Amino acid sequence: MLRFMLFVFLFLLLYTILHSLIKNMFIQRKKLNRELEPEELVQDPHCQTYIPKRTAIRKRVKGRAYYFCDKECARRFFDQKKPQNPKDGAQRLK
């Protein structure tokens, strides 16, 4: 009976070790494949530079996604896009 319990214990130990090794091997392979794939580049609409999509700052406005290289470019882009107040322009002309 003792031999049988020892056999079961060793079998479970071997199964656990092999299972973790095989699982880690597949994870390593997936990471390697991701590193070999080309990275998608997006263009910043303000400064016109190309940046990796995964590191870009993403802003969604009216269902459209904009990608920026930094917060300053995003702020400048949206400051330019703000509509001018017609009342301010009329007061300046007088």
Give the tokens for residue 88: 């301010």
Tens of pLDDT, residue by residue over 58-73, are 999 899 999 999 999 9
For the chain, what are the domain ranges? 1-37, 41-82
Q: How far apart are CA 31 and CA 49, in angstroms?
A: 28
Q: How many CA within 13 A on the CB side of residue 48?
A: 0
**Band (84; pLDDT cuts 50, 70, 90):** low
The lowest-confidence range among 10-14, 32-36, 53-57 is: 32-36
Which CA distances in Å does 10 have to 3, 6, 21?
10, 6, 17
pLDDT for the residue 31: 74
